[in-house]
Amino acid sequence: MSYRVAVLAGDGIGQEVVAAARCVLDAVAERGGFGFEWREFDWGCDRFLRTGAMMPHDGLDQLAEHDAIFLGAVGNPGVADHVSLWGLLIPIRRRFRQHVNYRPIRLFPGIEGPLRDATADIDFVVVRENNEGEYSEIGGRIYHGLDEEIAIQESVFTRRGVRAVMEYAFGLAASRKGQLVSATKSNGIVHTMPFWDEIFAELAEAHGEVTTSQYHIDALAAYFVQRPETLDVVVASNLFGDILSDLGAAVAGSIGIAPSANLDPSRRNPSMFEPVHGSAPDIAGEGIANPIGQIWSGALMLEHLGQRDAADAVMGAVARVFAEGGPRTPDLGGTATTEEVTTAILARLP
């Protein structure tokens, strides 16, 4: 069996960590009796600077024929962030109905997190609505540069979109510890957040096997720091989920190890797997980028493709590197290179 995977290594350290992750994925695939057909695309900010576009006009059609999309990092100091985001990532997420952003947060034994109780059992998932909410194109600006200049940005919440991400979160919680927290701010945001709360309450009645609670986003952010070990699954809107999941990654030791999956749960379209970190142009080319966020994203891809044993093997190897005091890149307080960390993980594959 072979899986067709589109590779968008992107910019900066994306090139380095994708190469490292592919080594691990190819190794575990060979042992598992399957393989990958990698197809590389040179899309990203470097392409934008050359051609004026992040990807070709038929780029989405080219991606559609793949089983998955493996993304490195996108970003360049010479390209505005909203150009790179809206020119590549958001069109992919929306075209392929990737309405779930899955962000696992885990403090591995052997990693010292920044919290006072570094031994807390932190293992939870943020499920972020990925295609609508606060990240919409509706709005505009008038009176540019004048004192009366106005900028308007509209949030868009649909019943279909909110139900879809919440249904996924309820199902995930039922398969874990059975606890689901909803992030809201209905005391201040008077239309969209009460709508979010109402749908959450409706679904909670239909999922009696899951214990539910909801917190305002400001209080929940504090809980991420004060008691992250109490969390199981958190469901949040696009903006709130984006912020909370990055906070969770920091609590778990480093954004350099944090993965994500942009999922179409129906599996009718390819899902996309990417680390949370950016392109880090300040260290690009130095060979010291942490490959674990990309490798863990690869493990999520394996799981999504039905190769659960291979995914467990990859994450078991990562966990052993940490637990045994193996090499660490500078973001984790070490001096190791990308290659040294990758080699250590390869050596611990079963």
- Structure confidence by residue, pLDDT tens digits, 260-288: 999 999 999 999 999 999 999 999 999 99
Catalytic residue among 11, 242, 264, 331: 242
Annotated active-site residue 197? The verdict is no
Of 330, 333, 327, 329, nearest to 348 by C-alpha is: 327
State the span(s) of the chain assigned CATH 3.40.718.10: 1-98+258-350, 114-251
Is-contact 105 249, C-beta < 8 A? yes
Report the DSSP pairing between strands 68-73 and 100-106: unpaired
Among 115-119, 279-283, 294-298, 318-322, the least confident range: 115-119
What pLDDT was estimated at residue 231? 96
Report the DSSP pairing between strands 100-106 and 259-263: antiparallel
pLDDT confidence tier of residue 137, bands split at 50, 70 and 90: confident
CA distance 102 to 259: 9
Catalytic residue among 11, 185, 264, 331: 185
Report which of residues 252 and 117 the model is more confident about: 252
Give the pLDDT mean for 60-72: 97
The residues near 50 (Cβ < 8 Å, ≥ 6 apart) are none
- Whose structure tokens read 């540069």? 145
> Helix, strand, or coil here: 4?
strand
What pLDDT was estimated at residue 81? 87
CA distance 172 to 136: 26
* CATH architecture, domain defined by 1-98+258-350: 3-Layer(aba) Sandwich (3.40)
According to CATH, the topology of domain 114-251 is Isopropylmalate Dehydrogenase (3.40.718)
What pLDDT was estimated at residue 73? 93
CA distance 301 to 263: 10
Is-contact 329 256, C-beta < 8 A? yes
Tens of pLDDT, residue by residue over 67-85, are 999 999 999 999 998 898 8
Burial 103-137 (b: 16+ CB within 10 A, else e): bbbbbbebbebebeeeeeebbbbbbbbbbbbbbee
Annotated active-site residue 215? The verdict is no
**pLDDT surpasses 70 at 294:** yes
Tens of pLDDT, residue by residue over 103-132, are 999 999 999 888 876 566 899 999 999 999
**pLDDT surpasses 70 at 230:** yes
Annotated active-site residue 185? The verdict is yes
Which of the 8 DSSP states describes residue 110? T
Annotated active-site residue 242? The verdict is yes
Tens of pLDDT, residue by residue over 168-185, are 999 999 999 999 999 999
Report which of residues 300 and 137 the model is more confident about: 300
Give the pLDDT mean for 318-340: 96
**pLDDT surpasses 90 at 253:** no
- Percentage, residues of the chain above pLDDT 70: 99
- Percentage, residues of the chain above pLDDT 90: 91
Q: Is 190 left (phi over 0), alpha (psi -120 to 50) or beta?
A: alpha
- Whose structure tokens read 């069109």? 91
Catalytic residue among 61, 117, 121, 143: 143
Is-contact 338 16, C-beta < 8 A? yes
Annotated active-site residue 61? The verdict is no
Catalytic residue among 218, 264, 309, 312: 218
Catalytic residue among 67, 123, 197, 246: 246
What pLDDT was estimated at residue 119? 60
Of 13, 71, 35, nearest to 259 by C-alpha is: 71
Give the pLDDT mean for 11-24: 97
Q: Where are the alpha helices (DSSP H) in the chain?
A: 14-32, 45-51, 59-63, 81-84, 90-95, 159-175, 192-206, 217-226, 238-251, 292-304, 308-323, 338-347
